[in-house]
Copies of this chain bind each other. A is one copy, B any other.
Amino acid sequence: MGGPLKISPLAPKAFPDIPVIDGVRFSTIAAGVRYKGRTDVMLAELIPGTSIAGVFTRSLTRSAPVLDCQAKLGSDPSQGAAIVVNSGNSNAFTGQHGVASVEAITTAVSNIMAVPIERVFTSSTGVIGEPMAHERIVDALGTLKASLAEDSFAEAARAIMTTDTYPKGSSAVVDTKNGKVKIAGMAKGSGMIAPDMATMLVYIFTDAQISQADLQSMVSEFNETSFNCITVDSDTSTSDSLLMAATGASGVHVGRDESGFRAALRDLMLDLAHQVVRDGEGATKFVEINVTGAVNAQEAKVHAMSIANSPLVKTAIAGQDPNWGRVVMAIGKSGATADRDLLSIKFGDILVAEKGWVSPTYKEEQGASYMKQSDLVINVDLGLGLGEATVWTCDLTHTYIEINADYRS
């Protein structure tokens, strides 16, 4: 790769202030897994009683760390837990070597942190198919343990970055009927797979007391409408992972029906998901796509993703071109039900097309002016039923090609 990537024009102004979450401590280190001169390993220590839930990539070629995490989700929370994450190498498509690396790392963490191995969760993000220098991570564990601190959240969010142009964090303080709890999450990701450096990773922590079953239920549900509704380039990582830990340190019990907590967690997950899109490789536009009037919600999402993933739609957006013809094309090819003559399309509030043709009220200048904004909304109504879906994406620019075509020489 060439020089450092420029910070995305869609980035938030600053990393947010994140409150301390009781029951979890973080540390980071520059272990030299692959990168030089930056932190690349993050350790999180979780107190006994911490519930852990997770959702993972559906890829059939998923990495050894993902398979290991999935197998451990149901394990007994009574004796504490640890999460260790490295950037630089994804340990994906590394065969039996990859399994051995996961074993080496989780065994060492288990020993040094005195937690059962089935409560050690590890993720790796970076190059695919290269042997993992896991001994560098193992060797760093002593130092990592010694530097654990409650307030190292921002450093942790930075250590897990690969081609991200900014660290991603979000938090909330929620008044539940049983008392106040806090939630804080971090994410990394900038392509579904960045330049040979895979993956979206998300870690969310709360001091609420939540059963593993309730936690998993909420995480799985909100994942469907947040991280599973974003796309940068239609490519799916072999390593995508989201882990959420509820330490219970606040002593405040939260059930799966607690509406305030649900809303706060849903918003936090959506915020992190949007931050990932805003750091999409080469992105200059953040685009929300709303599909209504589909036969059902599933078909609405198929249409929305077909629009969001279309290279022709994405290049038109990059060119600030109100090219609704390409939206029609993407609907037509999606495979889900559509009737050309019942479709209507709006860019923001501007009615562009209806009844199978351009709207008589539409003026190209209006559309062209709208497309200059950095945040865009495309609304499609299919006129068929009650199914609806919203997804988020970014545009497809020269910089995406630069990042992905020109790095491994």
Contacts and interface: CB of A to CB of B under 8 A. Distances in A.
Given A128-B329, A329-B235, A401-B398, A356 B408 contact: no
Nearest to A403: B315
Contacts of A192: 312
Interface string A307-341: 00111100110110101111011111110011111
Lowest 9 A-B CB distances belong to which pairs?
Answer: A61-B332, A128-B325, A319-B405, A95-B357, A59-B332, A95-B356, A236-B333, A315-B404, A315-B405
A358 B132 CA distance: 13
Interface in A49-64: 57-62
Contact of A325 (B57, B93, B236, B334): B93
A122 interface: no
Best-surrounded residue of A236, A331, A337, A405 (most CB of chain B within 10 A): A405
9 contacts: A59-B329, A60-B338, A93-B356, A234-B309, A234-B310, A235-B312, A319-B408, A397-B405, A398-B401
B357 A97 contact: yes
Interface of A: 57-62, 92-98, 127-130, 191-193, 196, 198, 233-238, 309-312, 315-316, 318-319, 321, 323-326, 328-334, 337-341, 343, 353, 355-358, 396-398, 400-402, 404-409
A100 B332 CA distance: 22
Given A312-B191, A315-B405, A401-B318, A61 B196 contact: no
Main secondary structure of the interface of A (DSSP, over half): loop
A333 B383 CA distance: 31
Nearest to A63: B340
Contacts of A316: 404-405
Nearest to A354: B95
Nearest to A406: B319
A111 B333 CA distance: 36
Given A196-B326, A236-B332, A325-B127, A337 B404 contact: no
